[in-house]
Structure 1
């Protein structure tokens, strides 16, 4: 009976690899030519304003001074064109402008790419009937609302209006929405949250020739619309993975720490990640090892002050994020050749970071540049937590490239950071690490990274998770290190921290009210992509910027729920191309499904629960090995695991004697009435453990071969 059950499971899970379910949630368009869906607002005298929408028919005529704001109902990006079928004379003008949020719809221009004012309107002199198109120089990568103006006497008639969708330029025109990953649960909010995160990452994948529109960043007059261009070349390929499609349209490694895993879990766009990561390494200082705050474009014209700033400054944390980006790329691709080719760059960069460590055992940060938070410097807890995590990652990569010469140095430095940070920065009364020795600020970023890195002990992680949730406001988790900011970037890491601290319900609750209720459903948002940051009051004001219209409403660093839901809630932790850990943490969800295809195979998990127990179905690639970790049930229970090892053509692999390898394991577990303890997803060293363990909080089965498994937890 166990064999039949496992074989049926293998068939269903492997079948899902070829046809990804839940496509109704995918926000990416099915083709590139997009017409506006509806009229949001019309001013002046416009005849048949809805004629050029998807539901309209007939021509649209603009008479005298008039305008229409068209709504695509979701954030898109690309090149706008319109067809003029007639005009009163050859001295008419049509203006085009854009906005992501309805808050910034204006008769004077577009929402901003600069730090003051708004962006100029694109004006077209109508010389007669025909097609008029925005040139690639002015491609707008992110907008939901398209404003069409007519500002002269007379009239112009349009017979067609469309946007050519330019995101994911290397994908087939009809393949933008063909995801390789999926997510679903019994909570519609979380389903929408996952797919909006995936779509946000897609919009941030732009043509490599459409980068950087910050040519007038230093403008000083808010009453004069500023010039904006999108013509920098970012990579040596056709695509680039940037922070946002409206701005900055540059390759930022900080964003990569959140968004790169989300890319692999949704579209598996490995080539864009590789091209973008390589440009970061290409910008490395080959003498010191310093990596850039952001990747310098291959071509930029005209040059501007912001690009020059990027050439001069050093960010301690963004330097480390590039190193972690290499690790994230390698995890999902198993591209050992790429890792080997960049290994010397990685070591040079890490050794540069180690040069900042002083007699305390902590790095003394001398650069203030980070993710726009304030006060970066000294023995900063965020910087040291990220450094500790990078040192641990370096040990893993060293085994992969068979270069163990610096493992002892890196291991000792990692341990010293833990000791020193706990001695100098931990405040047990506040249940937080302080930012550095000279302040009483307890930052969000440093405390969530202390959990992710393992710098915080299990008991500290529990305390930090509780203290973080106590600070939540109605619009999300605050980042006091950045004033009155709510940062979806840092809160994406907070999601991971709550899961790692054994508090999955906190992470799930936070996604529900911050990402779904506010970042998706607030009418000022795009209802499809995630805003860069905002104020704790709910105002769409990012304290780091002077110009509220500049805020990006599609920012990859805000897509953290993709990783949180697929990896933690569904439990699919990919450690590398040969090892994995499955640890479902569904909180109060009664159903959770996730799956994705990466270079070395297909992963899928399906969790469901009832009052009598739970069921967890798992599929991992043949040739891999992993561990199954289960939180101790709240009842006395019997846990059984049945599996078919291997997933070849017949969904089972025969041994040397031609027999199918089946697996069965069972254990009775006594409930201790305690919540799950903090658990850290690590990476095995040169060998894997081969034993089963149980504690008050978890049951673990190690060294499972890749294949298909059914876990039944039955209360007894």
Structure 2
């Protein structure tokens, strides 16, 4: 059925009550980076319905705090149950010097519950001011949850968790996983009380990585007087002011703006010191903790985990999204370096690259599960080189890259028809399902890897290796199109073994990696829209698909690929590109309208609920793809040479009327701003020394005059003068644009 395209409006009402307010930071430079106060928009885009974005006013969208201490936004609820609550519960908000007394007459099942709302997902160590307690105090506990829905309070919630850890969701896969009973308190944290040392501010000994709600309860008879509660925001610990983004995005669409900043914040909330990983499985009775060192990571630096709540390890596939988001927002390249290096150092002797940090027994057991993730290792290293231009880093890991690519090629060599199947090496695991056949998806990723290896080999002046990789890339592309394209359906098959399924990942990956030409890519996207778009976004596979190893659900990783593929399609009408924005607004906009608001989910089921219930990570970085697409494609700024030595600014306006932003580079920030109105399309850019750009303006297929800095360079059909200008019917491109400020504009004839 058709996708539900909603009206553009403020969709993050769940963040509303008392979100921690962020002060505007001083700034200057490109594109109204700082505006006079009288020009700034009044209000908060996260709480104000109908908020209208204004050029330059990007800071109100930032969800990250300006410092590393956050306080609750409100008291969500205060429930006496079998005990009592004496005094004003708002004392925990730190207003004045008051305190509130919790009195318990029994165990945790009868304790009063005091639930706090931090206004958005946060993470760190909670602190509570305790003014006093009974001579024999009860045990003081705090439970955490990313959503109200899964904060267990009723007896049947979360498979019995409410009786053990009231107010908690489930962060431990080994206890209370959906369908399994919750047998002991594996999720609440205990705050140790020493009545001889009260009053005091007591701090949790363990961090909790992702939560919006904190529920305080007692275990045992007695009373405790509580005052101000706060959280040491331990995410992004090396960023002195997490709100001080080096890169930003803003457009005429309030909802798309919120999506960009929610993606950036999600990845920040996944960024922690490398000794705060989770080592699983826990022993029976073991409480929640995140204090393990990521193998081979520098212990003095951050890494980027897959999720804030869990798994809290580094994954190759998640970094494929998280690393570009980081480059484009905080530019915290140390965190990316440390993450990529820790994974690269785990390479096995035959060249296979494990997909995840080998932190504990569970991860060791999966050491050869994820063949797909070897392709993401190559992709991540290429992206790092492209964005940072760090030749030393590339040279350091080049031997690992060649060994990993050789391993992938050895798997392909086992197939007389020239396609990879990970079934031959028992590495069939994917991001969301398992298939051991010769798939479009993984082979498209490998074809892209070979192109990336060719580019990196060229940069290292190894023409022979570059030629070999390029030849193989062509062979893999040809094999995919010959064996897996179904001309009768107009889409790519899941695999040779399952030819009657045409999934999202296969078709999006073929379009995104260049395996599909424009005709096939457009047809594949049309097929997905007809068959697989539903109420909350794009499904992994059409609901009518028979006998597939993948079932219909909403998966943000390939949905991000599809949105990007649509934005990249070269249709003169712009319908496919607008479809990409529609998908972003629908799927990611829907998540923002749900709890916790401001961060993106690991997955969602057909009902639009978190895909694995109370265990689902609701701040999962691989779901942040639109942050990259909005900068790289809508704003249009992408690196084409290592470290932005060369770059493109090719806007994809869709149905927007303006966009602007900044992109950090090793040379300094690149700024871009474009606007479309009745007079035409105007692109303004600022670029630092050491960079050369290719600028473009869309023509909509019309014969328009184009000027660069006021001088005509295109007369509607051909280049004028000595400018390096070309047109393809959709855009007019100007190459070799140097540093400084430039304006490229169309003029209707």
Tell me whether the two structures share a fold, i.e. TM-score over 0.5: yes
Correspondent of 2:714 among 652, 667, 681: 667
Rounded Cα–Cα distance in structure 2 between residues aligned with 1:599 and 1:14:
20
**Greater Cα shift, 319-328 or 474-483:** 474-483
- Residue of structure 2 equivalent to 1:183: 249
Matched, 1:359 2:429: no
Correspondent of 2:147 among 76, 101, 111: 101
- Residue of structure 2 equivalent to 1:206: 272
CA contact (8 A) 1:258 1:492 kept: no
Rounded Cα–Cα distance in structure 1 between residues aligned with 2:29 and 2:268:
28
Match of 1:669, SS state, is: coil
CA contact (8 A) 2:30 2:686 kept: yes
Matched, 1:570 2:635: yes
Match of 1:361, SS state, is: coil
Shift in CA distance, 568/121, structure 1 to aligned 2, threshold 3 Å: same
- Residue of structure 1 equivalent to 2:695: 628
Correspondent of 1:456 among 501, 510, 516: 516
Deviations 1:243-297 (A, max 9, x none): 0111011110101111111101000000010011000111001x21111111224
- Residue of structure 2 equivalent to 1:520: 592
CA contact (8 A) 2:667 2:691 kept: no
Q: How far is the alpha carbon of 1:56 from its aligned partner?
A: 7.1
Q: How far is the alpha carbon of 1:691 from its aligned partner?
A: 4.3
* Alignment: residue pair count: 644
Correspondent of 2:439 among 380, 394, 402: 380
Rounded Cα–Cα distance in structure 1 between residues aligned with 2:259 and 2:553:
21
Deviations 1:57-113 (A, max 9, x none): 621211222111100010000001212111222232211110001111124322122
Match of 2:741, SS state, is: strand
- Residue of structure 2 equivalent to 1:280: 343
Rounded Cα–Cα distance in structure 2 between residues aligned with 1:359 and 1:458:
28
- Residue of structure 1 equivalent to 2:484: 425
- Residue of structure 2 equivalent to 1:651: none
Match of 1:261, SS state, is: helix
Shift in CA distance, 583/21, structure 1 to aligned 2, threshold 3 Å: same
Correspondent of 1:317 among 368, 372, 384: 372
Shift in CA distance, 621/615, structure 1 to aligned 2, threshold 3 Å: same
Correspondent of 1:347 among 380, 383, 402: 402
Correspondent of 1:13 among 14, 22, 30: 30
Rounded Cα–Cα distance in structure 2 between residues aligned with 1:702 and 1:50:
61
Rounded Cα–Cα distance in structure 1 between residues aligned with 2:71 and 2:135:
27
Q: How far is the alpha carbon of 1:375 from its aligned partner?
A: 3.7
Match of 1:342, SS state, is: helix
CA contact (8 A) 1:280 1:294 kept: yes
Match of 1:126, SS state, is: coil
Correspondent of 2:70 among 34, 38, 42: 34
Correspondent of 2:358 among 271, 275, 296: 296
**Greater Cα shift, 106-115 or 313-322:** 106-115
Match of 1:423, SS state, is: helix
Shift in CA distance, 56/190, structure 1 to aligned 2, threshold 3 Å: farther
CA contact (8 A) 1:368 1:376 kept: no
Shift in CA distance, 375/176, structure 1 to aligned 2, threshold 3 Å: closer
Correspondent of 2:99 among 56, 59, 65: 59
Rounded Cα–Cα distance in structure 2 between residues aligned with 1:296 and 1:629:
45
CA contact (8 A) 1:291 1:314 kept: no
Correspondent of 1:171 among 224, 239, 252: 239
Shift in CA distance, 386/321, structure 1 to aligned 2, threshold 3 Å: same
Shift in CA distance, 583/590, structure 1 to aligned 2, threshold 3 Å: same
CA contact (8 A) 2:93 2:227 kept: no
Q: How far is the alpha carbon of 1:134 from its aligned partner?
A: 5.0
**Greater Cα shift, 413-422 or 53-62:** 53-62
CA contact (8 A) 1:444 1:479 kept: yes
CA contact (8 A) 1:214 1:248 kept: no
Q: How far is the alpha carbon of 1:512 from its aligned partner?
A: 1.1
Correspondent of 1:245 among 308, 322, 328: 308
Match of 2:669, SS state, is: strand
Correspondent of 1:695 among 715, 728, 745: 728
Q: How far is the alpha carbon of 1:582 from its aligned partner?
A: 1.3
Rounded Cα–Cα distance in structure 2 between residues aligned with 1:608 and 1:384:
39
- Residue of structure 1 equivalent to 2:747: 714
Rounded Cα–Cα distance in structure 2 between residues aligned with 1:337 and 1:690:
36
CA contact (8 A) 2:210 2:308 kept: yes
Q: How far is the alpha carbon of 1:378 from its aligned partner?
A: 2.2
Correspondent of 1:475 among 511, 536, 552: 536
**Greater Cα shift, 269-278 or 492-501:** 492-501
- Residue of structure 2 equivalent to 1:559: 624
- Residue of structure 1 equivalent to 2:290: 230
Correspondent of 1:121 among 167, 184, 188: 188
- Residue of structure 1 equivalent to 2:159: none
Rounded Cα–Cα distance in structure 2 between residues aligned with 1:310 and 1:134:
35
- Structure 2 residues not aligned, in runs of 5+: 1-27, 37-55, 105-110, 153-161, 177-181, 542-548, 571-575
Q: How far is the alpha carbon of 1:702 from its aligned partner?
A: 2.3
Rounded Cα–Cα distance in structure 1 between residues aligned with 2:33 and 2:211:
34
- Residue of structure 1 equivalent to 2:555: 487
Shift in CA distance, 537/371, structure 1 to aligned 2, threshold 3 Å: same
Match of 1:75, SS state, is: strand
CA contact (8 A) 1:113 1:214 kept: no
CA contact (8 A) 1:185 1:591 kept: yes
Rounded Cα–Cα distance in structure 1 between residues aligned with 2:282 and 2:234:
24
CA contact (8 A) 1:102 1:145 kept: yes
Normalised to the residue count of structure 2, the TM-score between the two structures is 0.82
Rounded Cα–Cα distance in structure 1 between residues aligned with 2:34 and 2:357:
35
Shift in CA distance, 18/415, structure 1 to aligned 2, threshold 3 Å: farther
- Residue of structure 2 equivalent to 1:90: 136
- Residue of structure 2 equivalent to 1:5: none
Rounded Cα–Cα distance in structure 1 between residues aligned with 2:395 and 2:730:
39
Shift in CA distance, 246/531, structure 1 to aligned 2, threshold 3 Å: same
